[in-house]
Chains A and B, each alone.
Chain A
């Protein structure tokens, strides 16, 4: 990584999968290199509202995830969140 030049981490073999645990309402996302089988990145989101649409999009060095998160406070509505991950 240079002083004012940042490379994108580009690999066309990357793909993402997500798993949802309906007991703990956690969503786990894996970004995997399909050639070497290495898990490039993995993260978890908690309190994900069940039954609401979840979508992921991986393009170049961007990974975007949208989901709804339930609020811990009583009576509060679930809020739409996006989580953006970038690789360099």
Chain B
């Protein structure tokens, strides 16, 4: 399916015209969660190529900046009943001969639920390592903004109020950056060593 999409260039990839009037109604999924922190302002992270999943960054009632991973707040988390319904449908499809019947609205909703995320739970657990502002004592934050950076993995966050707080966050880890303790010396050393070794071997062979 994915191969068909990219290699055979699905219409959606090559179309240049776009009209709000021609757009169908979307399939909408919605979930509510309880939070352990009180929230004043929220924002979602942005990225240049829109590949990295969005993280929710919030200003809490006591002026801390907290972040929630996409996997925890997404509406695509499965309820137990939905997981069962999907299993049942797969079983039905496997045992049905001939063309499959059209999917109705509720079945379309099941399609967008995913097992990639943890099963639905009403409360989003608090992770104290997710406070972007760490133990900083910030005062009277009023607004929060997010900006995409040139690196796909990284988003900058700016919280403004009496204090100004800025940070760089990586919603899905540093997948396009070298690790901080990456050993560049060792890498270049081994390349130079190999060049010398190849030259030496050439001389030896002659």
Confirm or deny: A75 has a beta carbon within 8 angstroms of a beta carbon on chain B.
Answer: no
Confirm or deny: A80 has a beta carbon within 8 angstroms of a beta carbon on chain B.
Answer: yes
Confirm or deny: B138 has a beta carbon within 8 angstroms of a beta carbon on chain A.
Answer: no
Confirm or deny: B20 has a beta carbon within 8 angstroms of a beta carbon on chain A.
Answer: yes
A49 to B174, CA, bound (A): 40
**Pairwise interchain contact A88-B32, C-beta atoms closer than 8 A:** no
A2 to B5, CA, bound (A): 10
Q: Nearest Cβ distance between residue A3 and chain B, in whole angstroms? A: 6
For the complex, count residues of A whose C-beta is within 8 A of B: 37
The one of B21, B58, B108 in contact with A66, judged by C-beta atoms closer than 8 angstroms, is: B58
Q: Nearest Cβ distance between residue B138 and chain A, in whole angstroms? A: 16
Contacts of B108 in A (CB 8 A): 1
**Pairwise interchain contact B42-A6, C-beta atoms closer than 8 A:** no
Complex interface bits, A48-66 against B, C-beta within 8 A gives 1, otherwise 0: 0000010111011110101
Chain A stretch 14-65: residues in CB contact (< 8 A) with chain B: 33, 35-36, 40-41, 43, 53, 55-57, 59-62, 64
Q: Nearest Cβ distance between residue B54 and chain A, in whole angstroms? A: 6
**Pairwise interchain contact A62-B54, C-beta atoms closer than 8 A:** yes
Q: Nearest Cβ distance between residue B36 and chain A, in whole angstroms? A: 8
**Pairwise interchain contact B34-A81, C-beta atoms closer than 8 A:** yes
**Pairwise interchain contact A57-B30, C-beta atoms closer than 8 A:** no
Confirm or deny: B191 has a beta carbon within 8 angstroms of a beta carbon on chain A.
Answer: no
Q: Nearest Cβ distance between residue B124 and chain A, in whole angstroms? A: 8
A48 to B30, CA, bound (A): 18
Contacts of A82 in B (CB 8 A): 32-33, 35, 39, 42, 56, 73, 124
Binds A, one of B43-51, B165-173, B178-186, B194-202: B43-51
**Pairwise interchain contact A7-B12, C-beta atoms closer than 8 A:** yes
Question: Which residue on chain B has the smallest CB distance to residue A6?
Answer: B112
Other than the given A36-B21, A66-B35, 18 more pairs (CB < 8 A) read A1-B112, A2-B5, A4-B1, A6-B111, A11-B20, A35-B20, A53-B39, A55-B41, A57-B42, A59-B44, A59-B54, A80-B37, A80-B38, A81-B33, A82-B42, A82-B73, A83-B33, A87-B26
